[in-house]
Amino acid sequence: MRREEFRAGPLAGTVALACVLWFIAFALGGVSFWIKISLSAATLAALALFLQPETRGALRLDRRAVALGLGSAAGLYLIFWLGRSVSMLLFDFAGGQIGAIYQKGAGTPPEVVALLLFFVTGPCEEIYWRGYLQRSLMARFGRGAGWILATAIYAGVHLSSMNFMLVGAAAVAGAFWGAMYARLGSLPPVIVSHSVWSAVIFALLPMR
């Protein structure tokens, strides 16, 4: 993306919308959390593709993207396993807050959660957070600064959860996928990584 293509108004508007959608998902009751977060991610992805239609041509999967995505998902799972172990030693509240993250989706069958995360939430979040937001910020402020800003915003929208462990997890995961995208310049490996990792950690092999 060329520098002159940066449009601050639409970008800021989508970030404001993300804050509202994440507040609805995390702070309000009603519909299943996983349905709400999936619809939120899909809404942002649709806006991203509308505002930046060239992204559609950069979503093709190949064997390299799948291999990188699977390997990075495994690496991030290990990072979270280590991080959970250290956090449980350092913070008395860590166990309760980690449990609260999983409690958000109580009542939704794990197979439904896995399907939503793999096919909807993971891909849609990456299309918006990395493919649109981070790409735009890197075009305007440079690769390093754009990555930092995108990671901070991604972590920041999770503040409405009032859960320190979740905000920290979002910061780590956002920094990880953001670094992948900044390094590779390609969205499909990051989509695979996010989709596989989230389905595994929230539904298949949770870290309660």
pLDDT of 208 reads: 79
Task: Please give the C-alpha separations between residue 29 and each of 26, 32, 85, 104, in angstroms, as whole numbers.
Answer: 8, 8, 30, 10
pLDDT in tens, the chain (208 residues): 444 467 889 999 999 999 999 999 999 877 889 999 999 999 999 999 999 988 888 899 999 999 999 999 999 999 999 999 999 999 999 999 999 999 988 889 999 999 999 999 999 999 999 999 999 999 999 999 999 999 999 999 999 999 999 999 999 999 999 999 999 999 999 999 999 999 999 999 998 7
pLDDT of 4 reads: 42
pLDDT of 44 reads: 98
The continuous run of DSSP H or E covering 84 comes out as helix 63-90
Give the whole-angstrom CA distance, residue 41 versus residue 122. 8
Report domain extents, the chain.
3-52+67-204
pLDDT of 24 reads: 95
